[in-house]
Structure 1
Amino acid sequence: MFTLEGPFPRTGRELFDALPPLPGFRAEVIEGTVILSPLGTPEHSWIAADLHDALLPVRRQRGWRGSVGGVNICIEGPREPVAPDYVLSPADCPRWGQLELMSSGVILVAEVVSPSSVARDHEEKPRLYAQGHVPIYLLIDTLASPQIVTVHHNIQHGTYRTITTVDVGSPIMLPDPVNLELDTSIFKG
């Protein structure tokens, strides 16, 4: 049984910080609401791992770090913690405490759409990541028909101004600072 010690949390962030480890779930705070989601299927993780592998040459060349589902980021401004499926960052990315990277120091975040995250990944996450100054948001939706990959970038006034979508199987450009043409056929199931 879970019980809170100390004063009752007043914000989503305070409740998040008070949560014990929740095996099999990931916790996030989106627009002040604590969201608990079951961990994805193996296929979900494999897609993020395939992205990690595709970015290996860029990571090695620039000394960047990549993480498949194991690193939370703190969205600057509201200080909300988010758990992307993939994070690309410099090795010296600023942190919020010991466990979260600061969003403005991250290079790219990616979300792999799952049945429970369709609206969040397509609607809420682009706003949140743009607000947090994440230069590139990559959305991989293998549940859509046809399957799609979308790159959001070029933040102006807290919104991604450039959005490019291709069908899985077509190449898509990951803009600066990554500057890599991604072969999205790696995401075909």
Structure 2
Amino acid sequence: MTVKAEPTSQMSVEEFETIASAAPETVTLEFANGRIDVRTAADGDHDTVLTWLARRCMQARPDLDLYQGRGLRVEAYREGRAKPDAVLAPEAHFAGHGEWADPDGSLMVVEVTSYDSDTDRRDRHEKPTAYGQAGIPLYLLIDRESRTVTVHIGPDRQVGGYRTVQTSKFGEKVVLPDPMRIELDTEILKNYVR
């Protein structure tokens, strides 16, 4: 039996947070698996998808806020730090928090894929594991490359990820279950892909 060695961390979480606080606004830094991930600024279609989602969420659930670029501490994921594209939480939930908040109380995290080489690893594999281990009830992945919307339901804190994964094509109705309880008509998302 081959034992897989744990990856060596590039730096401590504290060192990462110092670097991240000085990063320009044109990049987003995350710390996962002991290494820094760098993402460039999102394109206009990416931002439009997030604005569309924010409007739908606020109409259906005015008691919630959709935070964009909210840093989360996902400790179970090797002392990780993630900045989802959006985090849905009760109104004013993150008031008074610093740049990196505890994920407790977050109802849903959202990622909209970008057209970069790390999207597959980051958004489709590492982040569902991290968000599931952190106990966030829902992970919504709007995948512009595959033209799908995937809802991850039922976080598994022990092994990470989610117990149920439901994927729909752009154009289909997508139901976000409890704690959201809203339906999304994804037809418009066809306009925001390359």
Instruction: Pick the TM interval, shorter chain.
Output: 0.7 to 0.9
- Please, what is the CA RMSD of the aligned residues? 2.0
Q: Provide the rounded CA distance (Å) in 1 between the counterparts of 2:161 and 2:29.
A: 24
Deviation string 1:116-174 (CA, Å, 9 cap, x unpaired) is 22321011111011011111000011112xx1000001123333010000000101111
| Partner residue, 1:4 | none
Q: How does 1:38-187 map to 2 (within 5 A)?
A: 38-60=40-62, 63-68=63-68, 70-77=69-76, 78-91=78-91, 93=93, 98-116=98-116, 117-144=119-146, 147-156=147-156, 157=158, 158-187=160-189
SS state of the match for residue 176, structure 1?
coil
Give the drift of 1:21: 3.0
Q: Provide the rounded CA distance (Å) in 2 between the counterparts of 1:76 and 1:93.
A: 19
Q: Write out the 4+ residue segments of structure 1 that deviate beyond 4 Å after TM superposition.
A: 94-97
Taking only the aligned residue pairs, the percentage that are identical comes to 30
Give the drift of 1:96: 9.5
Q: Provide the rounded CA distance (Å) in 1 between the counterparts of 2:79 and 2:95.
A: 11
Consecutive unaligned residues of structure 1, counting only runs of 5 or more, are: 1-8
TM (normalized to structure 2)?
0.82
Give the drift of 1:14: 2.2
TM (normalized to structure 1)?
0.84
**Code of the aligned partner of 1:16:** F
Q: Provide the rounded CA distance (Å) in 1 between the counterparts of 2:110 and 2:40.
A: 17
Give aligned pairs, total: 175
Deviation string 1:25-73 (CA, Å, 9 cap, x unpaired) is 001111221111101111111111111111112331xx211123x3111
* Cα separation, partners in 2 of 1:95 and 1:31, compared to 1, 3 Å: farther
SS state of the match for residue 140, structure 2?
strand
Check conservation: 2:171, 2:186, Cα contact below 8 A.
yes
| Partner residue, 2:4 | none
Check conservation: 1:93, 1:102, Cα contact below 8 A.
no
* Cα separation, partners in 2 of 1:126 and 1:45, compared to 1, 3 Å: same
SS state of the match for residue 54, structure 1?
helix
Consecutive unaligned residues of structure 2, counting only runs of 5 or more, are: 1-9
